[in-house]
Structures are given as structure tokens and as C-alpha cells.
Amino acid sequence: MAVGSLIGAGSSSEPSPSRVLTMVNRILIEDIRRLGTDRHMTISLLRRLDDRRFAHAGLHLDLAIYRRDRQQVELVKTEGMWLGVTEAIENHLQDLVFEVYPGDVVLLYTDGLLEAERDDEPFGIGRPCDVFADAGRRGDADVVRTALIAALAPWQRADDVSFVVLERLGSDEGGRSAR
């Protein structure tokens, strides 16, 4: 099941993340049946619509956005359906749009980040959001990345940890610029 290839192929001709995931789900369901397994996939698919707006669909972890103008982290809920659960997911998926302004930083992450443990305590969502907010106030995407890696270092990880940090540079039409 090469889901990444399916998403890439579907995204090249279909601008809607929810419709791409619906197509991928149909193929995934066929593969699951053929293999005789009981699997599912959590996923969020993002698409850049323009300089400010992103559309997303699927069901995975919240998206985290450091809002430079407010100096705080905003969590954007993902709402939808996991892939591979049922054939008919069209009615459970919709393209949701969020905006990113100059200086804002977006954090995408896997559950391995939240599930890291130390002394039977999970890293959780609060710690990365606190680190994200503090690092966001001090700098750019590189500062955020470095701070998250340092904060996670003493924690034990049983699962893979992946995260992507994106920063919106430049200014918008209203003349608002980053930092």
C-alpha cells in the first residue's frame, strides 16, 4: 500500500484534500480486503491554496500554529475520518481552511512526539505547545525545531517521532510583515 504515491498522484489533478483522501481510501479499502487484514490509517492532508490559506482534511492530531501577532499557540482541530475504516467516507470529510500570516509558524507532528515518556509521564500536548510558544517568541522555524529536539532529548521514545516546522515569511497585501 503505497499511500504516499497515491496521494501524490491524486493531488496533482485534484485540488481538494477531502476528495484526494476519498480516492485514496477506496484503493486502501481494496488492499485491506485483498490482504485480509484489519488496518486503518490516521492522516491529515494539507494543500496550500494561496500565500495565506491552507485547506486540510482527514483525521489525525491537531495542527499547531504559533501566532506571532498574539504570541500564542493556536490548535487547529482535524475533523473527519480515518482511512481504511469504511468505504463511504465522503460524508465524513470536508476541506477546512486556516490562514497563516507573516511570522506565523506551523507545527505538524506524529503521535510519537506526544507519547514519549519519562518516569511514566507522557510528553503530552502541553509540553510541546509550551516549548513551541517560547521558541516562537524567541525566533523563527529553526529556533522552534532546535528547541523541540532539545526538550524531547531526555524523554524515552517507543514510537518514531517526526515533525515539520513551517514559517510564513514576507508580508501580506495589507503591508503586514514578519517581525
**Cβ-based neighbours of 6, under 8 Å, separated by 6 or more:** 23, 24, 27, 28
* pLDDT over threshold 80, residue 177: no
Q: What domains sit in the chain, N to C, each tagged with a CATH number?
A: 3-167 (3.60.40.10)
Q: Provide the percentage of residues in the chain whose pLDDT is more than 90.
A: 58
pLDDT tens digits, one per residue of 80-100: 989 888 888 999 999 999 999
At residue 160, the pLDDT reads 86
- Residue 123 DSSP SS3: coil
pLDDT tens digits, one per residue of 117-145: 999 999 999 999 999 999 999 988 999 99
pLDDT tens digits, one per residue of 62-83: 999 999 999 999 999 998 989 8
At residue 1, the pLDDT reads 47
Question: Amino acid letter at 10?
Answer: G
* pLDDT over threshold 50, residue 147: yes
* pLDDT over threshold 50, residue 112: yes
